[in-house]
Amino acid sequence: MNLFLIVLFTPLLGGLLLAGIRHPRWAARANIAIGMVTFTFSLGLAMQVLNARGFNTLDGWFHLDAYNAFLVALTAFVGMTTAIFSAPYMRHEFDAGRVNARQMRLYHSMFQLFQFGMLLGFTTNNIGVLWVSLELATLATVLLVSLYRTPASIAAAWKYFILCGMGIALALFGTVLVFFTSSSVLGHGNEALTWTLLHEHAGALDPFVMTIAFCFLMVGYGTKVGLAPMHAWLPDAHGEGPTPVSAVLSGLLLNLALYALVRLKMLVDGATGTGLAGHMMMAFGILSLFVAAFSLHRQRDIKRMFSFSSIEHMGLMTFAFGLGTQLAGVAALLHMTVHSLVKSGIFFTVGHAAQAMRTQKMSEIRGLIRHHPGIGWGLMIGTVAIAGFPPFGVFTSEFLLFTAALESNPWTTIPLLLGLLIAMAGLLRFVQPMVYGETAEQAVSVQVNMLPVYIHLALALVLGLSIPGFLAGWYEQAATLIAAVSAGGGV
């Protein structure tokens, strides 16, 4: 329990502390240290949860089980490596005069506040607080997206703010509807929003109200997941914000929104006893996969291109969670892990590449491998990994997903395969000329730190070759938890 408190409050206190550190270099170091503390304790916490098979803490306000403890560890890990990456990256931006000392302070402080919102969202047991924390994480990143104060970044942040604000308002309406039916079962108080109690009494909730509530929740949280057709904010927010922010948006924030959606789907399945919620998620998933795969071909900005790849993968995960079987659950969780690792790794590389080539335009980035082999190889291997080539973990999770789809809905494998092929073609078509060939003239040498990228890719490789026993057991535990309700619902 103490471990949990340390994990949750380190980022909050860290964020407040960073607001007071004036010197950017010290702030960057403190940021890394806070990330390391959070990650170390989150590992301990994860072990504790795994042994105890889930427990409530602090009077039932927080609930930890296999599903969220694993996401807490993942969030803390990517948060830590992003902090390590951001130190030289942001120093370069600072030296180049794109941000001033005050903006650096805002950046570091908001970065940790965002981490706090993420961890609060994952661990809270109250679906109302879950909504609040998702909004908190969103607000923190809005300020980060507009950090450069360029016209494009302000326009992107405005779009992000309005669209996600609207989405999240719809999710709140869905939550109110859940409370509307649950308050007649569990009484008029916090109990009626407590997830564990709702989960126990899901059968007593009114199926009709829960169906309408899920429509709102699906569109609301779906906006934050970046599902098509509500994805318009995502490429702009990723393209215009600082690269460490793109990395945590893609690698972490989208996960939290999907996590919230799956938690609520478990309740809806229990109440309705039909596969309706799952089918909605499958439909949104496939649509997102296709929209993203085709849009990817039309991009000219490297960060926007990879953000469409994020939409594609979030679509795949949503589809897998929608399938609802245990195997699909394992596939989705594994995919979530490797996508977070590989995609944030790619964004780190892209950030350095854009600094070295002094542009984000793909047509002007040329010959990375000659100019700086580390960046070139990092981008090539990262792209190969995210496109789903063996032996990386993305291949494994996609393979599992196809197996699960073949078992329950065989016809879906055709659109899935098609979407993946189109997306892969798009990725390779753009990345190949950027990596090979003659180095572009405007290239400058920059200080890079490729260590986080290599760690992320190595982990994705390990997950692809052989998933360690404890981790496999962990995935199975979590997937059983998610699938149990769905199976009870008769999917």
Partner 1 sequence: MSGAFLQQLVDSLAALMLLVSFALLAQHRMLSVLNWFAAQGVLLAVTAVVVAYGTDNHELYISAVMTFLLKGLLLPWLLWRVIKELHVHREVEPLMNMPLTMLIALAVTLFSFHIIQPIEKISELLTRDSMAIATACVLLGMLMMITRRKAITQVIGFLAVENALFFAAIGSTNGMPLVVEIGIAFDVLIAALIFGLFFFQIRETFDSLEVDIMQSHLIQEDENE
The residues of the shown chain that bind partner 1, judged by CB under 8 A, are 126, 128-129, 131-132, 135-136, 139, 142-143, 146, 149-152, 154-159, 161-162, 165-166, 169, 172-173, 176-177, 179-181, 183-184, 188-190, 192-193, 206, 208-209, 212, 235-236, 239-240, 295, 298-301, 304
Q: Is 56 helix (H, G, I), strand (E, B) or coil?
A: strand
Task: Please name the helix (run of DSSP H) or strand (run of DSSP E) that holds residue 62, with its range, or none.
Answer: strand 62-64
* Residue with Cβ nearer partner 1 (129 or 431): 129
* Residue with Cβ nearer partner 1 (167 or 452): 167
* Residue with Cβ nearer partner 1 (93 or 301): 301
Give strand pairing partners of 361. 301
* Residue with Cβ nearer partner 1 (121 or 376): 121
DSSP state of 360: -
CA 12 to chain centre: 20
Taking each helix axis from N to C end, the angle separating 393-408 and 373-386, rounded to the nearest 10 degrees, works out to 10
Taking each helix axis from N to C end, the angle separating 326-357 and 451-465, rounded to the nearest 10 degrees, works out to 150
* Residue with Cβ nearer partner 1 (78 or 197): 197
CA 137 to chain centre: 12
Task: Please name the helix (run of DSSP H) or strand (run of DSSP E) that holds residue 55, with its range, or none.
Answer: strand 55-57
Of the candidates 283, 382, 400, 276, the one whose C-alpha atom is nearest the C-alpha of residue 339 is: 382
* Residue with Cβ nearer partner 1 (126 or 486): 126
Distance from C-alpha of 333 to C-alpha of 393, rounded to nearest angstrom: 11
Distance from C-alpha of 305 to C-alpha of 310, rounded to nearest angstrom: 9
* Residue with Cβ nearer partner 1 (91 or 358): 358
* Residue with Cβ nearer partner 1 (239 or 419): 239
Residue 111: CB minimum distance to partner 1, A:
16
Residue 222: CB minimum distance to partner 1, A:
16
* Residue with Cβ nearer partner 1 (10 or 126): 126
Residue 38: CB minimum distance to partner 1, A:
22
b vs e for 118-145, b when ≥16 Cβ sit within 10 Å of the residue's Cβ? bbbbbbbbbbbbbbbbbbbbbbbbbbbb
Of the candidates 316, 314, 332, 345, the one whose C-alpha atom is nearest the C-alpha of residue 456 is: 345
* Residue with Cβ nearer partner 1 (39 or 233): 233
Q: Is 57 helix (H, G, I), strand (E, B) or coil?
A: strand
Residue 46: CB minimum distance to partner 1, A:
26
Residue 70: CB minimum distance to partner 1, A:
26
Distance from C-alpha of 32 to C-alpha of 34, rounded to nearest angstrom: 5
Residue 209: CB minimum distance to partner 1, A:
5
Residue 151: CB minimum distance to partner 1, A:
4
Place of tokens 């994805």: 231
**Residue 305: phi, psi to the nearest 5?**
-60, -45
**10 with 18: CB under 8 angstroms?**
no
Residue 154: CB minimum distance to partner 1, A:
5
Residue 133: CB minimum distance to partner 1, A:
8
| Torsion angle, alpha carbons of 209, 233, 290, 293, to 10 | -160
Distance from C-alpha of 404 to C-alpha of 421, rounded to nearest angstrom: 19
Distance from C-alpha of 490 to C-alpha of 469, rounded to nearest angstrom: 30
Residue 455: CB minimum distance to partner 1, A:
32
* Residue with Cβ nearer partner 1 (142 or 282): 142
* Residue with Cβ nearer partner 1 (53 or 149): 149
From first CA to last CA, the distance across the chain in angstroms is 36
**138 with 220: CB under 8 angstroms?**
no
Residue 206: CB minimum distance to partner 1, A:
6
| H-assigned helices in 324-448 | 326-357, 368-371, 373-386, 393-408, 413-435
Residue 71: CB minimum distance to partner 1, A:
21
